[in-house]
Amino acid sequence: MQRVLFPLLMIGLAFLPACQSSETAKKTDDTSIESRVVDPVTITKTACKGEAHTKTQPTVDDEKANAAIADSQTSASKSASIKTASRKAHEDLDATLWMQTSAEYYATCRQAYRLAEKQLATAIDTPTWSADVAQQAELSGHQSEKNDLPTAVILDIDETVLDNSPYQARRIHEDGSFTPETWKTWVEEATASPVPGVKEFLQVAKNSGVDVFFVTNRENAVEHATRRNLENLQLVEPDSVDRILSKRERDEWTSDKATRRAHIAKRYRILLLVGDDLNDFISIGENPTSQARRDLAFEHADMWGVKWIQLPNPNYGGWERSVYQWNDSAEDHVKLQEKYDALNDAKE
């Protein structure tokens, strides 16, 4: 009897490590979907508790597991750059998302233009009213021939009339920044959408007999594309009056918009200025600091929401350029460091 039991005992001991190894592996593999990867043709079952090695076809569950793993690997591949980047992201990501997805962006723009509609009625009925600082000085306190001028409103274009956030989205996806070449390509597509509220405001101005002019720092070389975009949106009608005043359209028309406002003020009483940048309202001088820009805004506090209507633009503008000292040619990492240094974390 001992001669029979001893060989059987040895066989059992031989199988025991394999069984334990298999059970341990199973416990480990159960924590991951990869534990269910199977050979596409056959699987090999490890003999345990006296079972022999056999080969079987994969089950439906096995095939589903393989499909799930394939999807998981594809998804992981797509998000690899995000995972490895940790908290690093394109600096315009949140600002662009806010403009494209938030209810608050829509509400802010709509609110601004509704205020503009309200102020327009008051401006029309007030002969000494002007939104242009220089013209206001001529009108205030006495009657002038300028009081009888036809009326006009002046609007900036980018982020005031046209929403260019898709251009920003492209730069984010490509992990790039603004370049004149990519901007020109975008402008010539002439596919920008209207900023919320602008259509309604322009219709009110038209119905009130108020002329509309667009003063933009887009280059004169792309004015044809700008006009096409505005006409496609029915924001401007073809006529004999040049209503789009672009940068460098004349030698004296530089990025400072004061000369173009003065050009319009010769023939019109300017009722409102609408824009997204301080330069859309008043001459800011050459390369002002962030503090100087804020001081200028404070100095004209009584104009905001009355004669000057501000639209939001968290992506770019004089506010950003002043942070990195208007050094547009600086390397990206230099500009980024300047922005970090400008942050106030309220620590001593």
Cα(248)–Cα(128) distance, integer angstroms: 31
65 and 140 part of one domain: no
Residue whose pair of structure tokens reads 């503090």 in the numeric block: 291
Same domain, 112 and 183: yes
Decide: residue 141, CB within 10 A, 0-12 exposed, 13-18 middle, 19+ buried: exposed
Question: Domain containing 218 — which CATH number?
Answer: 3.40.50.1000
pLDDT at 26: 41
* 348 domain-assigned: no
* Domain interval for residue 165: 93-342
Q: Is residue 274 part of a domain?
A: yes
Q: What is the pTM of this model?
A: 0.76
Same domain? 53 vs 136: no
For the chain of 348 residues, list the mean pLDDT of each consecutive stretch of 10: 46 47 44 38 39 47 60 51 65 97 99 99 96 91 71 99 98 95 98 99 98 98 97 90 95 96 97 99 96 98 99 98 96 94 90
Domain co-membership, 27 together with 169 = no
Cβ(122)–Cβ(208) below 8 Å: no
Domain boundary among 85, 111, 140: 85
For residue 327, being part of any structural domain is answered with yes
* pLDDT for res 178: 94
Domain count, the chain: 2
